Amino acid sequence: MTKLIQALVLFTSFACTRGGSDVKSDSNDSSSAIKLSLNSPAQKFDGWGAGLSWWAKASGQTEYAELYADLFFTDKTVNVLGRDLPGLNINIARYNIGGGANGIAGENVSSKLEWWKGVDGFHVLPGSADDVSTENWNWNNDPHQRHIMALAKERNVNTFEFVSHAPMWWMNDSNSSQGGNLKLDSHEAHANHLAQTIAYAKDNWGITAASVEAFNEPVSTWWTFPKNQEGVVIPRSQQADVLKKLRTKLDERGVPDTKIAASDENTVDQAIDTYRYLEEQNVTNLVDKVNVHAYNGIDPYRNNVKRQELRSLVPETKKIWMTEYGDGDGSGLVMAQTITEDLKYLKANAWFYWQPLEPFTGWGMLNGDYSDRVSAGDNLAAPYKIHNKFFAFAHYSRFITEGCQFYEVSSESSVLAYCEADKKLVMVTFNTGESRDLVLDVSDLGVLGSVELTSSDLDDNDKLFVDGVVTIEGSELKFTAGERSIHTLVIGF
């Protein structure tokens, strides 16, 4: 398919319940056309993102690091397991400043922690907050994730956000980053660790952190030691104080341009309550961007009224990023609904998948062999399964790029965007119900040029990312969306 540069994008979703939570049917059917119009602008798009963290630690110093970097961070065609895959074209990466210290004396390491989930930070022992050259700091830590970050920069990634999944182990009452609570006297130390790391990354790694997130699902109550991953409880009152200290430390450490994001809560409901609390404490002026996850625990979040409430609560001058989502449905259809709802109702300015590579299940777009380092041997992190979720995500990420402008659209399950750089109209549609004929009314769009359709039957590996058929009848475009399928329509002007 020809490379698309300027794009106007419509996403339309239809209903199903297989593989996850309920997907609502679109009210449009074959007898009612979906009208495409550019009369009501919504949010501008910063792009697609992914967390590094676990998969980057697992693969970062293996022979597969370059392959994954090409696959996730370019739009090149990449051969994996004998199949040509379309690169995902991700342009934003989140680097996890870990809280571990490689089991240093005094650190409690959870017995439930799988090896790839333990990410080490740099301020490994208390003290020497100002002098990062002492033995209390170890800048050799986390080489795997740092290598993937460098590979991402060499490719299409142009924006990095640094995030803390947990403060350093000694800052928490459990003496661990895998559960517990941030100690009341560790607020400044946590802020300093983040600021010093961002300053060091800029001076020594050639990486500029556009923004920093100090928390990860901080008010969730499941962060009890011993946990199977990093995370600690940081109540809203402590968040407010950390944010004040973080702004001060960023300025002191010579990185005043790094913006502050908050607070990566698990649910939109929690994000609403957190933002309101921070407003009451007069610290939202320190928050340049609001981050939120698209979960309800580990299930997809499905309350669009609350999505709209959060967007209404946060001033239009502040962006909202949906910074983490994943699910176990390997087809990608549940993910497609979440993308649609986050873009339409939350009006997210960026959308992130948590871990594109995972060792076991459909939570990853691909599976790699790294659950057991010993048995994997020289093939550590080798890909062994491609989920059709990979193609579902590519239907979005390869055609909607940074700078696209979204527009309101009447269809309940659609979002519309225009990308000024490329003069292309793109419609991405997923269908989880019975096969149906789609009708698009393009009478408001003027003279159209080329029309291309890329389709994927998510139950047939031989019909993924193939050319589809579009019928043009006057001011209407028509094509068939088969059962459990996803389609990207591109109209050139």
b/e map 214-247, b = 16+ CB within 10 Å = bbbbbbbeebebebebbbbbbebebbbbbbbbbb
Query: Which residue numbers are catalytic?
Result: 217, 324
CA–CA dist 362, 356 (Å, integer) = 10
Considering only CA atoms, which of 398, 346, 309 is closest in space to residue 91? Answer: 398
Based on DSSP, count helices (H) and strands (E) in the chain, helices before strands: 10, 29
Looking at beta carbons, which pairs linking 239-244 to residues 24 or more positions away fall under 8 Å? 239/214, 239/215, 239/263, 239/274, 239/278, 240/277, 240/278, 240/281, 240/283, 241/187, 242/182, 242/187, 242/190, 242/191, 242/214, 242/215, 243/214, 243/278, 243/283, 243/286, 243/287, 244/283, 244/286
Question: What whole-number distance in Å separates Cα of residue 281 and Cα of residue 30?
Answer: 52
**In whole angstroms, what is the distance from residue 84 CA to residue 79 CA?**
4
Rounded Cα–Cα distance for residues 104 and 97 (Å): 17
> Phi and psi at residue 275, in whole multiples of 5°?
-65, -40
SS3 289: strand
State the Cα–Cα distance between residues 353 and 365, nearest whole angstrom: 9
